[in-house]
Amino acid sequence: MQSLLLFVDKLSTWIGHVFSWFIVALTLLISWEVFSRYALDNPHPWAFDVMIMFYGTLFMMAGAYTLAKSGHVRGDVLYGFFMPRTQASIDLALYILFFIPGVIALCWAGYTYAAESWAINEHSNITADGPPIYPFKTIIPVAGAFLLLQGFVEIVRCVMCLKTGEWPSREEDVEEVDVDKLKEMVHVKTEDIEKLDALIPTEGDAR
Protein backbone atom coordinates (compact mmCIF):
# COMPACT_ATOMS: atom_id res chain seq x y z
CA MET A 1 0.00 0.00 0.00
CA GLN A 2 2.79 2.41 0.90
CA SER A 3 4.48 1.84 -2.48
CA LEU A 4 1.21 2.71 -4.25
CA LEU A 5 0.85 5.90 -2.22
CA LEU A 6 4.42 6.93 -3.02
CA PHE A 7 3.82 6.16 -6.71
CA VAL A 8 0.92 8.62 -6.80
CA ASP A 9 3.10 11.13 -4.93
CA LYS A 10 5.79 10.70 -7.58
CA LEU A 11 3.22 11.15 -10.34
CA SER A 12 1.91 14.37 -8.78
CA THR A 13 5.50 15.55 -8.26
CA TRP A 14 6.43 14.81 -11.88
CA ILE A 15 3.38 16.68 -13.16
CA GLY A 16 4.22 19.63 -10.91
CA HIS A 17 7.80 19.70 -12.20
CA VAL A 18 6.71 19.51 -15.84
CA PHE A 19 4.21 22.33 -15.58
CA SER A 20 6.58 24.45 -13.51
CA TRP A 21 8.29 25.23 -16.83
CA PHE A 22 5.28 27.39 -17.59
CA ILE A 23 6.90 29.92 -15.24
CA VAL A 24 9.84 30.15 -17.65
CA ALA A 25 7.53 30.33 -20.67
CA LEU A 26 5.41 33.00 -18.99
CA THR A 27 8.47 35.05 -18.04
CA LEU A 28 9.83 34.91 -21.59
CA LEU A 29 6.44 35.79 -23.07
CA ILE A 30 5.99 38.79 -20.78
CA SER A 31 9.55 39.98 -21.42
CA TRP A 32 9.14 39.67 -25.18
CA GLU A 33 5.77 41.44 -25.16
CA VAL A 34 7.16 44.35 -23.12
CA PHE A 35 10.13 44.65 -25.49
CA SER A 36 7.92 44.36 -28.56
CA ARG A 37 5.41 46.88 -27.26
CA TYR A 38 7.78 49.60 -26.08
CA ALA A 39 10.96 49.07 -28.13
CA LEU A 40 9.47 47.90 -31.44
CA ASP A 41 6.07 49.60 -31.11
CA ASN A 42 4.45 46.30 -32.11
CA PRO A 43 2.10 45.05 -29.38
CA HIS A 44 0.28 41.74 -29.78
CA PRO A 45 -3.41 41.85 -28.78
CA TRP A 46 -3.48 38.12 -28.06
CA ALA A 47 -0.53 38.20 -25.63
CA PHE A 48 -2.54 39.12 -22.53
CA ASP A 49 -4.97 36.24 -23.09
CA VAL A 50 -2.12 33.78 -23.50
CA MET A 51 -0.47 35.03 -20.31
CA ILE A 52 -3.69 34.39 -18.38
CA MET A 53 -3.93 30.88 -19.86
CA PHE A 54 -0.30 30.08 -18.99
CA TYR A 55 -0.74 31.26 -15.41
CA GLY A 56 -4.09 29.49 -15.03
CA THR A 57 -2.63 26.24 -16.37
CA LEU A 58 0.31 26.45 -13.98
CA PHE A 59 -1.99 27.21 -11.04
CA MET A 60 -4.41 24.38 -11.79
CA MET A 61 -1.84 21.68 -12.54
CA ALA A 62 0.16 22.49 -9.40
CA GLY A 63 -2.78 21.58 -7.17
CA ALA A 64 -2.05 17.85 -6.89
CA TYR A 65 1.67 18.52 -6.45
CA THR A 66 1.03 20.97 -3.60
CA LEU A 67 -1.36 18.55 -1.92
CA ALA A 68 1.22 15.75 -2.21
CA LYS A 69 3.73 17.96 -0.37
CA SER A 70 1.12 19.03 2.21
CA GLY A 71 1.72 22.59 1.07
CA HIS A 72 -1.80 24.00 0.86
CA VAL A 73 -2.66 26.83 3.25
CA ARG A 74 -4.11 25.71 6.57
CA GLY A 75 -5.95 27.71 9.20
CA ASP A 76 -4.42 25.46 11.84
CA VAL A 77 -3.88 27.56 14.96
CA LEU A 78 -4.38 24.47 17.15
CA TYR A 79 -3.96 21.69 14.59
CA GLY A 80 -0.19 21.44 15.00
CA PHE A 81 -0.54 20.73 18.72
CA PHE A 82 -2.85 17.74 18.23
CA MET A 83 -1.74 14.11 18.28
CA PRO A 84 -1.43 12.44 14.84
CA ARG A 85 -4.65 10.45 15.31
CA THR A 86 -6.59 13.63 16.11
CA GLN A 87 -5.09 15.35 13.08
CA ALA A 88 -6.01 12.38 10.90
CA SER A 89 -9.58 12.39 12.21
CA ILE A 90 -9.99 16.08 11.38
CA ASP A 91 -8.41 15.70 7.94
CA LEU A 92 -10.50 12.65 7.12
CA ALA A 93 -13.74 14.41 8.00
CA LEU A 94 -12.81 17.48 5.95
CA TYR A 95 -11.74 15.39 2.96
CA ILE A 96 -15.02 13.46 2.94
CA LEU A 97 -17.34 16.40 3.69
CA PHE A 98 -15.74 19.13 1.58
CA PHE A 99 -12.76 18.07 -0.53
CA ILE A 100 -14.21 15.08 -2.40
CA PRO A 101 -17.59 16.68 -3.25
CA GLY A 102 -15.88 19.94 -4.25
CA VAL A 103 -13.31 18.35 -6.54
CA ILE A 104 -15.91 16.04 -8.12
CA ALA A 105 -18.00 19.13 -8.86
CA LEU A 106 -14.91 20.78 -10.33
CA CYS A 107 -14.27 17.80 -12.61
CA TRP A 108 -17.90 17.61 -13.73
CA ALA A 109 -18.27 21.33 -14.39
CA GLY A 110 -14.85 21.47 -16.03
CA TYR A 111 -15.74 18.60 -18.34
CA THR A 112 -18.97 20.38 -19.34
CA TYR A 113 -17.16 23.66 -20.00
CA ALA A 114 -14.44 21.94 -22.01
CA ALA A 115 -16.88 19.89 -24.08
CA GLU A 116 -18.94 22.96 -24.96
CA SER A 117 -15.80 24.93 -25.78
CA TRP A 118 -14.53 22.23 -28.14
CA ALA A 119 -17.97 21.91 -29.75
CA ILE A 120 -18.12 25.59 -30.74
CA ASN A 121 -14.38 25.98 -31.41
CA GLU A 122 -14.33 28.73 -28.78
CA HIS A 123 -11.81 31.57 -29.09
CA SER A 124 -11.22 34.58 -26.88
CA ASN A 125 -13.50 37.46 -27.84
CA ILE A 126 -11.47 40.14 -26.09
CA THR A 127 -9.58 40.72 -29.34
CA ALA A 128 -10.42 40.07 -32.98
CA ASP A 129 -7.75 37.42 -33.35
CA GLY A 130 -8.13 35.92 -29.90
CA PRO A 131 -6.41 32.59 -29.15
CA PRO A 132 -8.40 29.35 -28.76
CA ILE A 133 -9.82 28.74 -25.29
CA TYR A 134 -10.80 25.07 -25.53
CA PRO A 135 -7.28 23.71 -24.72
CA PHE A 136 -7.19 25.91 -21.63
CA LYS A 137 -10.65 24.80 -20.46
CA THR A 138 -9.60 21.18 -20.93
CA ILE A 139 -7.04 21.74 -18.18
CA ILE A 140 -9.86 22.16 -15.63
CA PRO A 141 -11.14 18.54 -15.60
CA VAL A 142 -7.63 17.15 -16.12
CA ALA A 143 -6.25 19.05 -13.13
CA GLY A 144 -9.32 18.09 -11.12
CA ALA A 145 -8.78 14.40 -11.89
CA PHE A 146 -5.17 14.49 -10.69
CA LEU A 147 -6.19 16.45 -7.60
CA LEU A 148 -8.92 13.90 -6.87
CA LEU A 149 -6.44 11.03 -7.23
CA GLN A 150 -4.05 12.68 -4.79
CA GLY A 151 -6.98 13.35 -2.47
CA PHE A 152 -7.82 9.65 -2.30
CA VAL A 153 -4.18 9.00 -1.39
CA GLU A 154 -4.44 11.52 1.44
CA ILE A 155 -7.61 9.80 2.68
CA VAL A 156 -5.78 6.47 2.77
CA ARG A 157 -2.98 8.16 4.73
CA CYS A 158 -5.53 9.39 7.26
CA VAL A 159 -6.92 5.87 7.69
CA MET A 160 -3.40 4.44 8.11
CA CYS A 161 -2.57 7.10 10.69
CA LEU A 162 -5.73 6.27 12.63
CA LYS A 163 -4.63 2.63 12.76
CA THR A 164 -0.93 3.11 13.56
CA GLY A 165 -0.88 6.46 15.34
CA GLU A 166 1.80 7.82 12.95
CA TRP A 167 1.65 9.57 9.61
CA PRO A 168 2.96 7.49 6.68
CA SER A 169 6.02 8.80 4.87
CA ARG A 170 5.76 11.04 1.79
CA GLU A 171 7.75 11.40 -1.40
CA GLU A 172 10.58 13.84 -0.71
CA ASP A 173 11.20 16.79 -2.98
CA VAL A 174 12.56 20.23 -2.18
CA GLU A 175 13.90 20.52 1.36
CA GLU A 176 15.63 23.19 3.37
CA VAL A 177 19.43 23.14 3.26
CA ASP A 178 20.98 20.94 5.94
CA VAL A 179 24.12 22.90 6.87
CA ASP A 180 25.79 20.01 8.69
CA LYS A 181 25.16 17.65 5.78
CA LEU A 182 26.47 20.27 3.35
CA LYS A 183 29.66 20.61 5.38
CA GLU A 184 30.10 16.85 5.28
CA MET A 185 29.61 16.74 1.50
CA VAL A 186 32.24 19.39 0.77
CA HIS A 187 34.60 18.10 3.51
CA VAL A 188 34.60 21.33 5.51
CA LYS A 189 34.92 21.32 9.28
CA THR A 190 33.58 23.87 11.71
CA GLU A 191 37.14 24.54 12.86
CA ASP A 192 38.15 25.52 9.33
CA ILE A 193 35.31 28.02 9.11
CA GLU A 194 36.30 29.52 12.48
CA LYS A 195 39.89 29.95 11.26
CA LEU A 196 38.65 31.78 8.15
CA ASP A 197 36.43 34.00 10.27
CA ALA A 198 39.42 34.92 12.41
CA LEU A 199 41.28 36.16 9.31
CA ILE A 200 38.49 38.57 8.33
CA PRO A 201 38.96 41.96 9.99
CA THR A 202 36.07 43.19 12.09
CA GLU A 203 34.67 46.72 12.06
CA GLY A 204 36.66 47.59 15.18
CA ASP A 205 39.93 46.36 13.63
CA ALA A 206 39.31 48.42 10.50
CA ARG A 207 39.01 51.55 12.60
The predicted pLDDT at position 193 comes to 64
Positive/negative CA dihedral, 201, 202, 205, 207: positive
Predicted confidence band of residue 38 (pLDDT cuts 50, 70, 90) = very high
Residue scoring higher pLDDT (81 or 83): 83
Give yes or no for residue 105 having a pLDDT over 60.
yes
Lowest-pLDDT range of 63-67, 178-182, 191-195:
178-182
Q: What is the pTM of this model?
A: 0.77
**Of 29-33, 94-98, 100-104, 197-201, where does mean pLDDT reach its minimum?**
197-201
Tens-digit pLDDT profile for residues 106-149: 999 999 999 999 999 998 887 777 889 999 999 999 999 999 99
Residues 20-25: what's their mean pLDDT?
94
| pLDDT > 90 in the chain, percent | 56
d(CA 44, CA 34): 10
Q: Look over the chain and give the mean of its residue pLDDT values, rounded to a whole number.
A: 85
Residue 122 contacts by C-beta under 8 Å, 6 or more apart in sequence? Answer: 116, 132, 133, 134, 137
User: H-helix or E-strand containing 130?
Assistant: none
Coil, strand or helix: which one is 36? helix
